[in-house]
């Protein structure tokens, strides 16, 4: 199976424009710009992907995925890479001004299957059962109060 072609580093703008057309967690302008910064800094330090991955106790393919913007690395992973490169997180994100809109503002598709939405969710069976039990207790309490009040009124009224 052939791997997908990756845009050369001198054609970053074209890759960024293409990524804007289909926002996602990977392959978006933010991931691509972060990957470009990571690759540039790694090369400035004279490290190979293998050297950096070994120092960071990561797989070389993960470093490659990060540099291509094909994965969404955790802050922990980015922090480890920064430590190995002897830079700060701010250095890694330097010059990146991209942001990502919420998925509801793009094509309406959720980024994750468990993503929160603004649509109301129907109550669960256990919630409905609890609500019914509480309603019955409240009615029973009100009935007891009414019965006690009417009994005390009968005792107070002259016969």
Do residues 63 and 131 make contact, with C-beta atoms less than 8 angstroms apart?
no
CATH domain 9-101 topology: 434 Repressor (Amino-terminal Domain) (1.10.260)
Mean pLDDT on 15-40: 74
Token digits of residue 83:
């430590």
Contact 102, 110 (CB under 8 A): no
Distance CA 86, CA 16 (A): 27
Residues 28, 99: Cα–Cα separation, whole Å: 10
Query: What pLDDT, in 10s, does the model give residues 53-71?
Result: 999 999 999 999 999 999 9
Give me the mean pLDDT over the 123-144 stretch: 91
């Amino acid at each position: 199976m052939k791997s997908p072609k990756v845009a050369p580093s001198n054609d970053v703008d074209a890759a960024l424009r293409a990524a804007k057309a289909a926002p996602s967690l990977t392959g978006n302008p933010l991931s691509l710009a972060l990957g470009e910064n990571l690759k540039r800094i790694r090369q400035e330090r004279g490290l190979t992907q293998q050297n950096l991955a070994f120092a960071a106790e990561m797989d070389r393919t993960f470093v490659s995925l990060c540099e291509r913007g094909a994965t969404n690395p955790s802050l922990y992973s980015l922090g480890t890479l920064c430590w190995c490169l002897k830079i700060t997180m701010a250095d890694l994100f330097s010059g990146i001004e991209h942001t990502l809109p919420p998925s509801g503002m793009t094509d309406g598709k959720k980024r994750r299957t468990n993503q929160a939405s603004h649509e109301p969710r129907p109550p669960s069976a256990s919630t409905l059962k609890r609500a019914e039990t509480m309603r019955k207790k409240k009615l029973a309490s009100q009935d007891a109060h009414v019965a006690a009040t009417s009994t005390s009124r009968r005792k107070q009224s002259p016969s």
